[in-house]
């Protein structure tokens, strides 16, 4: 059995790390950082759905918990951002465990599980929008403290590199999981849960571990979002936008693959930004929702011509060209 990380993964991370040296414009740095944030959320979704087959429509629940915890711990309790980060990640894991325990104990799967996750995200959004603890609809503004000790950087490249480091760690973790017994159990549950149980796989424990880990990873994306933009409210934290992007990126990039969510996030957000810029240039103004049209077209094309996503198409074409 091979050990270590694949060369392709190392090369991709190295190229991404070098991008800020070539593109120093703030617009490009902001775009790349946002891609990293969406990639983290997408990889969290991919671990649960792509590998485990448990489709979620409400990963905003984990993203929002991480985002709000990151803000509240700093603003209300004066906790340093670097310490608030693992605490917020742990809260995301706890929420994932709680949601998974209730859902999987009740043997919910398929559309029923997806709707339950969507309901949890919406309940959290309503509570955050109405509660004085979260400052209601006004949201929470994190004070500006431009210092690396406070997880804020005068040079935007450093925040991007930190976000990329988290992405690299999660990619490495996903690759490791795909080669472990836990990863094999996840795939077995995805393919046929009854057959997996018959072979001795504890499906409940496997799915519970997956959603707990997925919650922690997605909460990390929420933490980085708060720390990047220094503001969060209920619609940003628990809104459907992040749930949609978290599931579209792996579907387009390739579910159940290590690099699929990253490839999907780059393509999804990149084409969305290009489309908005073209419309603004041609029509003299932006059209709200035009990026969503692009997302829909990409999804249709992916389902029709590349059901295994971009990574699946690359693998298929490379195998055809092999001698």
Per-residue pLDDT of the chain (323 residues; tens, 9 = 90+): 344 678 989 999 999 999 999 888 888 999 999 999 999 999 999 999 999 999 999 999 999 999 999 999 999 999 999 999 999 999 999 999 999 999 999 999 999 999 999 999 999 999 999 999 999 999 999 999 999 999 999 999 999 999 999 999 999 999 999 999 999 999 999 999 999 999 999 999 999 999 999 999 999 999 999 999 999 999 999 999 999 999 999 999 999 999 999 999 999 898 888 777 776 676 666 666 666 777 778 778 777 777 788 887 777 776 665 44
Place of tokens 């270590």: 4
Cα(60)–Cα(126) distance, integer angstroms: 13
Which tens digits make up the pLDDT trace of 280-300? Answer: 676 666 666 666 777 778 778
How many contiguous H segments (helices) and E segments (strands) does the chain have?
14, 2
pTM, full prediction: 0.93
Helix-helix angle 26-45:240-253, to 10 degrees: 80
Closest CA to 35 of 273, 239, 231: 273
End-to-end Cα separation, the chain, in angstroms: 24
Distance CA 35, CA 24 (A): 16
Multiple choice CATH, 7-258, 1.10.3470, 3.30.1330, 1.20.120, 1.20.1290: 1.10.3470
Instruction: Return d(Cα 167, Cα 279) in angstroms, integer.
Output: 31
The C-alpha atoms of residue 196 and residue 183 are separated, in whole angstroms, by: 13
Domain spans of the chain, in order of start: 7-258
**Half-sphere CA count of 251, side-chain side, radius 13 A:** 21
């Amino acid at each position: 059995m091979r050990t270590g990380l694949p060369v392709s993964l190392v090369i991709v991370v190295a190229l991404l790390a070098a991008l800020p040296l070539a593109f120093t414009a703030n617009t490009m740095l902001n775009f790349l950082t946002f891609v990293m944030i969406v990639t983290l959320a997408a990889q969290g979704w991919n671990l649960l759905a792509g590998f485990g087959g448990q489709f979620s429509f409400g990963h905003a629940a984990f993203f929002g918990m991480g985002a709000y915890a990151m803000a509240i711990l700093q603003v209300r309790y004066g906790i340093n951002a670097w310490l608030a980060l693992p605490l917020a990640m742990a809260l995301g894991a706890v929420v994932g465990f709680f949601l998974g325990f209730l859902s999987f104990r009740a043997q919910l799967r398929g559309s029923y599980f997806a709707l339950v996750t969507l309901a949890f995200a919406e309940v959290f959004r309503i509570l955050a929008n109405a509660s004085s603890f979260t400052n209601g609809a006004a949201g929470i503004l994190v004070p500006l403290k431009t210092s690396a000790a406070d997880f804020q950087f005068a040079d935007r490249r450093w925040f991007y590199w930190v976000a990329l480091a988290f992405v690299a760690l999660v990619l490495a973790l996903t690759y490791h999981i795909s080669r472990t017994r836990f990863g094999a159990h996840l795939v077995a549950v995805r393919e046929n849960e009854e057959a997996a149980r018959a072979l001795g796989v504890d499906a409940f424990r496997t799915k519970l571990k997956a959603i707990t880990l997925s919650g922690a990873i997605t909460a990390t994306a929420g933490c980085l979002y708060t720390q990047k933009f220094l503001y969060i409210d209920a619609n940003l934290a628990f809104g459907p936008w992040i749930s949609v992007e978290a599931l579209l990126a792996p579907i387009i990039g390739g579910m159940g693959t290590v690099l699929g969510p990253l490839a999907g996030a780059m393509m999804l957000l990149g084409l969305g930004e290009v489309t908005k810029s073209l419309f603004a240039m041609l029509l003299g103004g932006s059209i709200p929702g035009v990026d969503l049209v692009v997302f829909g077209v990409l999804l249709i094309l992916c389902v029709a011509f590349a059901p295994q996503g971009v990574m699946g198409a690359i693998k298929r074409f490379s195998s055809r060209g092999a001698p």
